[in-house]
Amino acid sequence: MSDSKSNATFADFGEVIRDHQSFALLSHVRPDGDAIGSVLALGFSLMAAGKTVRMINEDGLPENLAFLEGSSRIEMPPAELIEVEVVIALDTATKPRLGDAALRSVSKAGLWLNIDHHISNPAYGDLNLIDATSPATGQIVYEMIIALGLPLPAESRDAIYVAVSTDTGSFQYPSTTAKTYEMAADLIRRGLDVGTINSSTYDNHPYRRVELMRALLNTLERSADGLVAHWEMTDATRRELELLPEDSEGLIDIIRAIRGVKVAVFFEELPDSKIRVSMRSKDHSVNVCEVAMQFGGGGHALAAGIRMAGPMDEAKGKVLAAISERTSAV
């Protein structure tokens, strides 16, 4: 086994899988398609290989991903401590982003594995598989399943596709490579129904999401130089429209798509009065992960996030100033 903490090989992971029986799979709070998809993909593969698997998320399964076969296996953290040998954290840039209750529930585990594609990941596992060139954790999971000859049941196949599709803006972002399309082609050959799965992922939004879009558009602002566009959501809007956390997922792409805009920012007031900041950069001339890390957040060069202290106007002022320092330099 590699002694380096920085990066292990698929074979190292294969050894751990072979030598252990029970696994708990975790992903980040407010899980997205890649977080849930990666957990389901690896979880169902391990179960098909005869392992005992628990799939836990601090916030449970979001409603918009409930169409995934097998997704009801995702549980909220149980109150009791789970008897488990190995924890595998997926798609989660920092350990605290797994959530307090989830972390507590697996505290008896002796070995920590970490599979992720965030450049900001400090390699908090005993074994780490961090590939920042991968567009989604789901693609790393796919490569590992193939490399180790693990089973790839239908649940895993569909979950991998959704993980990668949602993290690449439907195979559009520059992180999408030939390998990504080859993987998708392989999944289709294995029986994936492209039309149905895309329709379930993208043409199935609740009406309240469009009402949220209307509310956001009323707050849209653009910097004088046209390089930065931002909008915001108050906690009052959340309550009024009875929004779920996943309802805003992907809406930021609307303002990212404005001609001339380099950076798009979404500010969301959370119930605990903290501010969630979501940032997208159109190209590598502005690295939003660096901006996020200035405020304790993280992510990728072109997509990053922060959870920071409010109030809204203060958070906005700080983050927009940090962004404008970078956009004015390019």
Residue 306 contact among Mn ion, ligand AMP, none, beta carbon within 5 to 8 Å by kind: ligand AMP
Residue 91 C-beta: closest distance to Mn ion, Å: 4
Out of 298, 319, 323, 327, the residue judged to bind ligand AMP by CB under 6 A: 298
Distance between CA atoms of residues 99 and 94, nearest Å: 10
Q: Which two tokens stand for residue 90?
A: 């997926």
CB 310 within 8 A of CB 275: yes
> Which amino acid appears at position 93 of this protein?
A
Binding pattern to ligand AMP, positions 105-134, x when CB under 6 A?
-------------x----------------
- Any contact of residue 282 with ligand AMP (CB under 6 A)? no
Q: Among 57, 139, 278, 327, which residue interacts with ligand AMP (rule: CB under 6 A)?
A: 278
Whether 216 contacts 251, CB under 8 Å: yes
Is residue 99 within 8 Å of 92, Cβ to Cβ?
no
- Cα-Cα-Cα-Cα torsion 190, 195, 201, 207, nearest 10 degrees, comes to -160
* Choice from 299, 301, 316, 319 touching ligand AMP (CB under 6 A): 299
Positions that interact with Mn ion (CB under 5 A): 32, 34-35, 91, 137, 167
Kindly identify the residues of this chain, within the stretch 200-239, that bind ligand AMP according to CB under 6 A: none
Q: Is 28 left (phi over 0), alpha (psi -120 to 50) or beta?
A: beta
Residue of 24, 206, 49 lying closest to 105 (CA atoms): 24
Binding of ligand AMP at residue 245 (CB under 6 A)?
Answer: no
Rule CB under 6 A: choose which of 41, 98, 140, 306 binds ligand AMP: 306
Other residues' Cβ atoms within 10 Å of the Cβ of residue 171: 15
In the complex, residue closest to Mn ion by CB: 34
Q: Which stretch binds ligand AMP (CB under 6 A): 17-25, 92-100, 187-195, 208-216?
A: 92-100
User: Among Mn ion, ligand AMP, none, what binds residue 56 when CB lies within 5 to 8 Å by partner kind?
Assistant: none
- Cα angle 137, 276, 219; round to 5: 120
Chain contacts with ligand AMP (rule: CB under 6 A): 28, 93-94, 97, 118, 278, 297-300, 303-307
